[in-house]
Amino acid sequence: MTTSFGAAKTVTIAKDSKIMLRNGFNGLNKPAPSLALTKSLRLSPSSSLSLIRAVSTPIKPDTAAETKRSKVEIIKEHSNFIRYPLNEELLTDAPNVNEAATQIIKFHGSYQQYNRDERGQRSYSFMLRTKNPSGKVPTQLYLTMDDLADEFGIGTLRLTTRQTFQLHGVLKKDLKTVMSSIIKNMGSTLGACGDLNRNVLAPAAPFARKDYCFAQKTAEDIAALLSPQSGFYYDMWVDGEKIMSAEPPEVVKARNDNSHGTNFPDSPEPIYGTQFLPRKFKVAVTVPTDNSVDILTNDIGLVLVSDAQGEPQGFNIYIGGGMGRTHRVEATFPRLAEPLGYVPIEDILYAVKAIVVTQRENGRRDDRKYSRMKYLISSWGIEKFRNVVEQYYGKKFEPFHELPEWEFKSYLGWHEQGDGGLFCGLHVDNGRIGGKMKQTLREVIEKYNLSVRLTPNQNIILCDIRGAWKRPITIALAQAGLLHPRYVDPLNLTAMACPAFPLCPLAITEAERGIPAILKRVRAVFEKVGLKFNESVVIRITGCPNGCARPYMAELGLVGDGPNSYQIWLGGTPNQTSLARSFMDKVKIQDLEKVFEPLFYYWKRKRQSKESFGDFTTRMGFEKLREWVDKWEGPEVAPARYNLKLFADKQTYEAVDELAKLQNKTAHQLAMDVIRNYVGSQHNGKGE
């Protein structure tokens, strides 16, 4: 089989002598003819749309020069469209699959793992990840996943930061049973991992509003557009039986359109070809103000623009976001998406396809550290990237529309849907559903036949609840620890962590298992420096620098950089619109308070009105912050003064103060100890 990098007609770019990434990374640097636009073609514009000009079909490249490729690219080439050698490896008695099959099974939505807590012989298992555009989960699928977790997994379900389920601990011999069960119960894992479009995000809230409904439908259409077509998934897991609902005709039309050289003619994979994409690809869709999807962290971020009557008109397009990086390799970095342009709603699928094809044809395939689209855009610059995309799109992008400020929306608690029903957003610490919580959620979902939505913040929403059901559901959930958000520590409500140990092969240190204790320690520091209970910061923790929990958008991000050690990132904002920066390296877990205390102490005392912790750290600057950390000796002790609420006169205060000094306490502390001891003795019936 030959390698297929180019479509029928392919974009190439003239070499730019001065476009460089940090530390000398020069992008692709493929010599080629310069690109030229054809003459303008005036089309009949829709209402309020400006002139649209047609552009030329991309020029076919010179393929004489052999390009260096990574090992994964060669595995994909020889896989017979993501079948081999996985199809053979699944038939062996070994508990694991070989290296090539480990890469191929990712496209099917699974990672091979082993328990890193265990020493000696490795105990292999597989993690399965579902694909749920907009986070939508039918009742039948939720109950199926719940059953599979108990019968074939480790007894828990994990909600991810991309609105999907992860099912851990599935043995190789059970893979086909589990996969086929998911497929036959309205689910899929196809493309949840691997070098292709991943799950498409959209706000999870089930509002019966035109904008929310249209954004969610667009997410589902994009997921369908970019879904593999060659049938490898169904061949492997359900013996070729393709269990799918009918696709919207506009999706089929956009996929098959090859007017501008985007497709591989007569290929089983018209968009992906044999090689698929250079790396993972992430898309999110939302509406103005709603940044529940971390819109700027995606390869493509789409924002629906509606008119004054609320009718959807088009989309603003952001491109080039991405979180992953590598420690001590400065040419790798997290990046925020930037504006590309605006398109009318009828063109959105064609615009998305053009962006994907531009990355397919020009993203690096020699070194996977630099294969995400963010590096291509950083190398070329936005103007050059836009120029190439427009040729695959066939039109010029219109100017970006002005947007209001972004807000982070969690949708926790009870809300009206707008159609007479209610929905209830539930906080799930780190997205891990197990034990009594898992049992109760199943009972409630099954009893009331509720559909479910998963959020990008690892939480769950129960939908379509009748008013009469609110009280019994609230009681049942509370008894399982699923409380109204007012009863949950605000630090927990916005915190996220990746799974890390024991099953993730990339983890350097703890994340999910470590974050509960770390959040408690942060709360203790808050109390020590005088911050109130209702004050909070966005904290995200990952066990490695790949950024699955998006720590580089947090106000306080902890990124594993060694055993029991974290790199500390500061400067994100509560609405997830600013990128944090690396503040300190190699901070041991037992030394976190040495950094947290001075930072939170001075935030309490030197912040401006309503200034968030992230904005405060940015305003003060890292030089000043490091000075505070280096010179920290503990909070300043307020001058001693008697408290009229505790002491009736100054003489009593001074007497207590003398006694307190003998115990290295203040008069106030000693008086409180005496009162507590007295109350405790009375309560125990030991009063004298």
Share of the chain residues as helix, strand and coil, in percent rounded to the nearest 5: 35, 15, 50
Contact criterion met (CB below 8 Å) for 181 and 144: yes
Q: What pLDDT, on a 0 to 100 scale, did the predictor assign at position 19?
A: 33
Q: Which residues fall within 8 angstroms of residue 355, CB to CB, at 6 or more apart?
A: 299, 300, 317, 319, 340, 373, 389
Q: What is the pLDDT of residues 345-367, one digit of tens each?
A: 999 999 999 999 999 999 999 99
Structure tokens at 21: 């990434």
Give the residues of the chain that fall short of pLDDT 70: 1-66, 244, 637-649, 664-665, 669, 672-673, 676-688
| Alpha carbon distance 375, 390 (integer Å) | 19
Q: What pLDDT, on a 0 to 100 scale, did the predictor assign at position 666?
A: 74
Residue 313 main-chain phi, psi, to 5 deg: -115, -40
| Alpha carbon distance 493, 410 (integer Å) | 8
Structure tokens at 474: 């609230």
Instruction: For 515-535, give the DSSP string.
Output: HHHHHHHHHHHHHHHT--TT-
| Alpha carbon distance 684, 688 (integer Å) | 11
Q: Which residues fall within 8 angstroms of residue 451, CB to CB, at 6 or more apart?
A: 136, 137, 138, 139, 206, 463, 464
Q: What is the pLDDT of residues 629-682, one digit of tens each?
A: 999 999 876 554 544 456 666 777 777 777 777 776 677 767 766 775 655 554
Structure tokens at 239: 């013996």
Q: Which residues fall within 8 angstroms of residue 443, CB to CB, at 6 or more apart?
A: 476
Largest Cα–Cα distance of the chain, in whole Å?
100
Strand partners, 530: none
What count of Cα atoms within 13 Å lies in the side-chain half-sphere of residue 194?
A: 33
Q: What pLDDT, on a 0 to 100 scale, did the predictor assign at position 388?
A: 98
Contact criterion met (CB below 8 Å) for 457 and 161: yes
| Alpha carbon distance 539, 491 (integer Å) | 7
Whole-prediction pTM: 0.85
